């Protein structure tokens, strides 16, 4: 889901498609999961981490914030 919606999230012309998007919901949940070391370890080794890191450049401030938070937490010990 993250990969599928990342193209939309990075496209300023598709901003209307992001309102209450499934991507926001998924990123919110992933951010909460990063509170747990086992989840951070899994995410660190996941192929999704580069996609999430790339989403920090999203024009949507919420998506950018969530992605930045996930990326930062993923590298915590």
Q: What is the pLDDT of residue 70?
A: 97
pTM here? Answer: 0.73
Q: Which of 40, 27, 33 is nearest to 77 (CA)?
A: 40
Per residue in 37-51, pLDDT tens? 999 999 999 999 999
Within a domain: 64: yes
Alpha helix segments (H runs only) across 1-77: 2-9, 22-33, 37-44, 49-54, 61-74
Residue 73 contacts residue 28 (beta carbons within 8 Å): no
Work out how many domains the chain is built from and give that number.
1
Is a pLDDT exceeding 90 seen at residue 34? yes
What is the token pair recorded at 10?
């990075």
> Residue 15: inside a domain, yes or no?
no
* Residue 53 belongs to domain spanning: 2-10+20-74
């Amino acid at each position: 889901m993250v990969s599928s919606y990342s193209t939309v999230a990075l496209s300023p012309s598709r901003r209307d498609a992001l309102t209450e998007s499934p991507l926001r919901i998924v990123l919110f949940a992933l951010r909460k999961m990063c509170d747990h070391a086992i989840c951070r370890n899994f995410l660190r080794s996941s192929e999704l981490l580069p996609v999430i890191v790339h989403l920090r450049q999203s024009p949507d401030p919420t998506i950018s914030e969530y992605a930045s938070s996930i990326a930062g937490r993923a590298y915590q010990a």
